[in-house]
Structure 1
Amino acid sequence: MADDDQISIYDEIEIEDMTFDPNLQIYHYPCPCGDRFEIAIDSLRDGEEIAVCPSCSLMIRVIFDANDLVKEEPKQEQVKSEVKVQA
């Protein structure tokens, strides 16, 4: 974010305390409003550190080292299986 002084941060949370959802590729953490703060792993890799709750105005700063992020899994190539057809 361009100007962190203008952002009101609710809390600072260590990445180890957040949960990673491999299907959505996001880290999340419970918000006091009952929803959860969310930040995409790609955003973290791009240097973003602010996770936002989609239900309220609260934001948290994620404390992390790039080496602590879940490793990007290589895209699996579709393997063509050979099927023998008997005539």
Structure 2
Amino acid sequence: MSYDEVEIEDMQWSDDLSAFTYPCPCGDLFQITLDELKTGEEIARCPSCSLYITVIYNPEDFEEPPATEDTRIPQQVEVS
């Protein structure tokens, strides 16, 4: 069972860890990476103890944008 449920808005971004973090009662930080969020992961784990939290967020906010078609302008071909 999850220790707690935390809104993504209540978490802090850490450039050093490249992850969203939230204080753990053990003194360390729960962590979840942007890549984990993009794949639909919702569990942030503490690296120092066995606790974890469930992160509440909208997965659509972290989806990769759809690939776009090649929009290069075709080169003109001279006809003789």
TM exceeding 0.5? yes
Matched, 1:30 2:36: no
Distance across 1 between alignment mates of 2:61 and 2:40:
13
Gaps of 5+ in 1: 1-7, 72-87
Identity of aligned residues (%): 56
1:19-41 Cα shifts (integer Å, max 9, x gaps): 01235321000000000100111
After the TM superposition, which residues 64-79 of structure 1 pair with which residues of structure 2 at under 5 Å, given as runs?
64-69=57-62
Whichever residue aligns with residue 32 of structure 1, its letter is P
Aligned length: 63
The C-alpha deviation readout for 1:32-79, integer Å capped at 9, x for no partner, is 00001001110011000000000000000000013545x9xxxxxxxx
Q: 1:68 to 1:22 in 2, by over 3 A?
A: farther
| Letter of the structure 1 residue corresponding to residue 3 of structure 2 | Y
Code of the residue aligned with 1:52 in structure 2: it is R
> TM-score scaled by structure 2?
0.70
SS in 1 for 2:22: strand
Which of these two proteins has the greater Rg computed from alpha carbons? Answer: 2
Q: What residue number does 1:51 align with?
A: 44
> Normalising to structure 1: TM-score of the pair?
0.65
What CA RMSD, in Å, does the superposition of the two structures yield over aligned residues? 1.8
Q: Secondary structure at the match of 1:60?
A: strand
Moved beyond 2 Å, runs of 4+: 22-25, 66-69
Kindly indicate whether residue 24 of structure 2 is the aligned counterpart of residue 13 of structure 1: no
CA distance in 2, matches of 1:23, 1:66: 23
